[in-house]
């Protein structure tokens, strides 16, 4: 069973490294969807994440609503973002998570990226309460194949991550990147101009071989 933790809106000059400390301690990885204009605030943290085997995706240049843009505006946003990712990482992200999960047909078919949303929304930005975030995930049922949405810009999310990472491992889940989840758990390919959304992660998880299925609670 596999789970992908994802962290949006960073990098943060303090909290990104604290999240990486937790992941590193437990031999785990995650996917970070970074807002490009934040990259200069914590470039070393982003490079550290990549060096640890975490995945770096784009969360647009400035957290704008891409679903309300025409193609020219979307391409301009991506180009500005790519320039900063190239400067910090030497590469540009293959994954795009549109802010607010907002997208239109143009973005889906012309971005040249794999668009990834999520299947479990912790609403950590709303509560800023670590206990609520942890309880929400623990009560979400079977997490196999799921993509959990968190944000790396809140101290409360760091505190929640500190509890969730060991808890998920204790439950028998492997913590993987989104691309690893798609390839290894779904047996699928990460392809450009394709959307991996709630319905995909919720309803298309292949059954586990019987001998590796987690025991019933």
Degrees to nearest 5, angle at CA 188 with 185 and 190: 110
- Whether 151 is catalytic is yes
pLDDT of residue 209: 81
> Would you tell me how many other CB atoms lie within 10 Å of the CB of residue 89?
17
In the chain, what percentage of residues exceed pLDDT 70? 97
In the chain, what percentage of residues exceed pLDDT 90? 95
Mean pLDDT calculated for residue range 133-160:
98
pLDDT of residue 214: 58
Mean pLDDT calculated for residue range 210-214:
58
For residue 140, what are its two tokens?
């979400």
pLDDT of residue 210: 73
pLDDT of residue 212: 54
Mean pLDDT score of the chain, rounded to an integer?
Answer: 96
Mean pLDDT calculated for residue range 22-49:
98
Helices (H), the chain: 15-25, 43-51, 71-89, 105-110, 124-127, 130-138, 155-170, 178-180, 198-203
Say whether pLDDT at 217 is over 70: no
Report the CATH number of the 2-208 domain. Answer: 3.20.20.370
The residue annotated as part of the active site, out of 9, 17, 144, 151, is: 151
CA 192/CA 205 separation, integer angstroms: 20
pLDDT tens per residue, range 168-197:
999 999 999 999 999 999 999 999 999 999
Residues 62 and 77 sit within 8 Å (Cβ to Cβ)? yes
Give all strands (DSSP E) within 172-213, no chain letters.
174-175, 194-196
Q: Please list, in sequence order, all residues whose beta carbon lies within 8 angstroms of the beta carbon of residue 207, skipping any fewer than 6 positions away.
A: 213
Q: How far is CA 139 from the centre of its chain?
A: 20
Say whether pLDDT at 43 is over 80: yes
Cis, bond preceding 11 (omega within 30 deg of 0): yes
The residue annotated as part of the active site, out of 8, 9, 17, 144, is: 8
pLDDT of residue 215: 55
46 — pLDDT class (breaks 50, 70, 90)? very high
Mean pLDDT calculated for residue range 57-64:
97
CA 47/CA 14 separation, integer angstroms: 14
Mean pLDDT calculated for residue range 134-149:
97
Say whether pLDDT at 114 is over 90: yes
Q: Given the DSSP bridges, would you call strands 174-175 and 146-151 parallel, antiparallel or unpaired?
A: unpaired
Q: What distances in angstroms separate CA 6 from CA 3, 14, 110, 140, 201, one per listed residue? A: 10, 17, 24, 16, 13
- Whether 8 is catalytic is yes
Q: Please list, in sequence order, all residues whose beta carbon lies within 8 angstroms of the beta carbon of residue 78, skipping any fewer than 6 positions away.
A: 58, 60, 61, 96, 111, 113
pLDDT tens per residue, range 90-109:
999 999 999 999 999 999 99
């Amino acid at each position: 069973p596999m789970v992908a933790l994802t962290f949006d809106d960073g990098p943060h000059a303090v909290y990104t490294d604290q999240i990486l400390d937790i992941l590193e301690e437990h031999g785990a990885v995650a996917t970070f969807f970074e807002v490009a204009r934040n990259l200069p605030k914590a470039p070393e943290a982003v490079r550290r994440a990549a060096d640890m085997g975490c995945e770096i995706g784009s969360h647009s240049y400035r957290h704008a609503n891409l679903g309300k843009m025409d193609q020219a505006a979307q391409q301009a946003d991506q180009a500005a973002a790519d320039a900063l990712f190239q400067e910090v990482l030497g590469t540009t992200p293959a994954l795009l998570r549109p802010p607010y999960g907002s997208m239109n047909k143009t973005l889906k078919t012309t971005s040249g990226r794999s668009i990834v949303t999520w299947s479990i929304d912790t609403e950590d930005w709303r509560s800023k309460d670590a206990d609520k975030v942890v309880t929400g995930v623990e009560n979400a049922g079977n997490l196999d194949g799921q993509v959990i949405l968190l944000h790396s810009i809140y101290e409360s999310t760091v505190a929640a991550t500190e509890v969730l990472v060991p808890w998920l491992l204790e439950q028998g889940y492997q913590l993987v990147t989104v691309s690893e989840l798609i390839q290894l758990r779904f047996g699928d390919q990460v392809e450009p101009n394709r959307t991996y959304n709630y319905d995909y992660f919720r309803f298309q998880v292949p059954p586990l071989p019987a001998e590796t299925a987690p025991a019933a609670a």
